[in-house]
């Protein structure tokens, strides 16, 4: 009997090995891609543009720590002394960064990127944060991200809910700036109006100085204004063309008014402090809101945000909310800790830039002036 044998095809040992290697290789690639998607992005941010040394840690866009050290030394001088600010930053930067990392429970070797304020601000102060960020990025071999401080003030709105939708209008008011910013998206903003002389924060601080309040006087004016009559001393608001602002006129007006009244009654300031604060605050807010209304109409916009140190002012917050209700706008007001200078907002801006792949190299230098 003849048995028919099936013909066995000889296997090529090299071929099976290759197939196996290819299979493992594909699995490895998929695993690496998977790890990449679940890997956390740990970002350290540093702010040193003026008189706050601050460091923050953000993980995948979520703020984990935001340490702020405010320099008290300037109170003695009635304003920020640039050289003293630089020295204070040098003293504070290592403890502040260390505390931010500890609070976030992150080791410096786990960091994936470093964001820092490149400007605008005091050159010597910016130099401290910039040099520190550059050195750490070099030592850890991780990317460096430069941040515009004014852009970061606007992006502070994205740290917590509710967040505005793009595009929206933002009134940025601080000790050094007064701007109406048209925010197209996180990284594209246009200044459509700004002060031609002093910033509104400066007007608050200088008025405070005239009535004997310590620096920074803005928060103290706010506090006293709550007990005063805002209509007691009316000041003329002046008129600037378009969407620009000017605060030097009202500042001089307040100075002459106080000089005239104290000549008649040397106790005038002491006897009328709360009413002076309430009247000055009302006038400054009127000047801001007048332009906000105009800009919102021009842009047919329904969302308004405020940012910067002066956005902590209770009068501005409540009057903008009232105006928003009347006009049918959504009003976005940041939490107090994100109004004045802080590294949390630098981290938020850094996060957007990291996602967009916008990095800086080691040649970067700070900029005292830095347009949006």
Q: Which is nearer to ligand ADP, 142 or 203 (CB)?
A: 203
Distances, alpha carbon 313 to alpha carbons 200, 222, 245, 339, 358, in Å: 11, 6, 18, 10, 34
Q: How far is the CB of 109 from ligand ADP (least distance, A)?
A: 32
Q: Residue 35 burial (CB < 10 Å; 0-12/13-18/19+)?
A: exposed
Distance of alpha carbon 29 from alpha carbon 35, whole angstroms:
10
The yes or no reply on residue 205 touching ligand ADP (CB under 6 A) is yes
174 touching Mg ion, by CB under 5 A? yes
Interstrand relation of 168-173 and 303-307 (parallel, antiparallel or unpaired): parallel
For residue 216, state whether it binds ligand ADP (rule: CB under 6 A): yes
**Half-sphere CA count of 185, side-chain side, radius 13 A:** 4
Using an 8 Å Cβ cutoff, are 154 and 307 in contact?
yes
Coil/strand/helix, residue 299: coil
**CB nearer to ligand ADP: pick between 114 and 288:** 288
Dump the DSSP string for 131-194: HHHHHHHHHHT--EEEEEHHHHHHHGGGSSSS-PPSSEEEEEE-SS-EEEEEEEETTEEEEEEE
Task: Check binding of 52 to Mg ion (CB under 5 A).
Answer: no
How far is it, in rounded angstroms, from Cα 188 to Cα 21?
47
Contact between 119 and ligand ADP (CB under 6 A)? no
Judged by CB under 6 A, does residue 193 bind ligand ADP? no
| Contact window for ligand ADP (CB under 6 A) among 14-22, 93-101, 133-141, 169-177 | 169-177
Pick from 45, 50, 63, 349 the residue near ligand ADP by CB under 6 A.
50
Q: Which 306-345 residues touch Mg ion, going by CB under 5 A?
A: 341
Nearer of residues 31 and 336 to Mg ion, judged by Cβ: 336
Reported as type and span, the H/E element at residue 87 is helix 82-104
Rule CB under 6 A: say whether 151 interacts with ligand ADP. Answer: no
Adjacency order of strands within the sheet including 168-173: 188-194, 178-185, 168-173, 303-307, 330-332
313 makes contact with ligand ADP (CB under 6 A): yes
Site for Mg ion contains 71 (CB under 5 A): no
Kindly state the smallest distance separating residue 50's Cβ from Mg ion, in Å. Answer: 7
Confirm or reject binding of residue 218 to ligand ADP (CB under 6 A). Answer: yes
Checking phi first, is residue 328 left (phi over 0); if not, alpha (psi -120 to 50) or beta?
left
| Count of residues in contact with ligand ADP, rule CB under 6 A | 19
Q: Which is nearer to ligand ADP, 59 or 287 (CB)?
A: 287
Smallest distance, Å, CB 92 to ligand ADP?
16
Strand locations in 236-280, DSSP E? none
* CB nearer ligand ADP, residue 164 or residue 218: 218
Residue from 53, 69, 303, 340 touching ligand ADP (CB under 6 A): that is 340
Angle made by CA atoms 93, 117, 130, in degrees to the nearest 5: 55
Q: How far is the CB of 76 from ligand ADP (least distance, A)?
A: 17
Which one, 119 or 230, has the nearer CB to Mg ion? Answer: 119
198 near Mg ion (CB under 5 A): no
Cβ-contact 193, 245 below 8 angstroms: yes
Instruction: Name the nearest CA neighbour of 49 among 155, 145, 121.
Output: 121
Q: How many binding residues for Mg ion (CB under 5 A)?
A: 2
Q: Which residues bind ligand ADP (CB under 6 A)?
A: 50, 174-176, 201, 204-205, 216-219, 222, 308-310, 312-313, 340-341
Q: Which residues bind Mg ion (CB under 5 A)?
A: 174, 341
């Amino acid at each position: 009997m003849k048995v028919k044998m099936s013909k066995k095809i000889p296997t090529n040992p090299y071929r099976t090995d290759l197939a196996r290697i290819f299979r493992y290789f594909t699995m490895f690639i998929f695993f690496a891609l998977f790890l990449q998607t679940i890997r956390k992005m740990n970002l350290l941010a540093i702010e040193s543009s003026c008189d706050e040394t601050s460091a923050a840690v953000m993980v995948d866009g979520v703020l984990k720590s935001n340490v702020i050290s405010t320099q008290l030394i300037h109170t003695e001088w009635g304003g920020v002394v640039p050289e003293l600010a630089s020295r204070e930053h040098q003293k504070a930067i290592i403890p502040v960064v260390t505390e931010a990392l500890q609070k976030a429970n992150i080791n410096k070797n786990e960091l994936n990127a470093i964001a820092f304020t490149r400007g605008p601000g005091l050159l010597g102060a910016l130099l401290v944060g910039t040099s520190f960020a550059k050195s750490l990025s070099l030592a850890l071999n991780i990317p460096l991200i430069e941040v515009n401080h004014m852009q970061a003030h606007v992006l502070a709105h994205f740290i917590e809910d509710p967040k505005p939708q793009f595009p929206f209008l933002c009134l940025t008011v601080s000790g050094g700036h007064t701007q109406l910013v048209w925010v197209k998206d996180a990284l594209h903003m246009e200044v459509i109006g700004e002060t031609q002389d002093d910033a509104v924060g400066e007007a608050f601080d200088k008025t405070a100085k005239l009535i004997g309040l310590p620096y920074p006087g803005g928060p103290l004016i706010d506090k006293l204004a709550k007990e005063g009559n805002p209509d007691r001393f009316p000041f003329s608001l002046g008129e600037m063309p378009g969407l620009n602002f000017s605060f030097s006129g009202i500042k001089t007006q307040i100075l002459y008014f106080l000089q005239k009244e104290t000549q008649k009654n040397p106790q005038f300031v002491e006897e009328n402090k709360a009413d002076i604060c309430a009247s000055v605050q009302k006038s400054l807010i009127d000047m801001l809101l007048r332009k906000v209304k105009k800009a919102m109409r021009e842009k047919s916009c329904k969302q308004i945000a405020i940012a910067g140190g002066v956005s902590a002012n209770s009068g501005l917050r409540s009057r903008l909310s009232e105006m928003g209700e009347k006009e049918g706008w959504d009003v976005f007001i940041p939490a107090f800790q994100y109004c004045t200078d802080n590294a949390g907002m630098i981290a938020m801006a850094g996060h957007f830039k990291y996602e967009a792949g916008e990095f800086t190299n080691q040649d970067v230098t700070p900029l005292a002036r830095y347009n949006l």
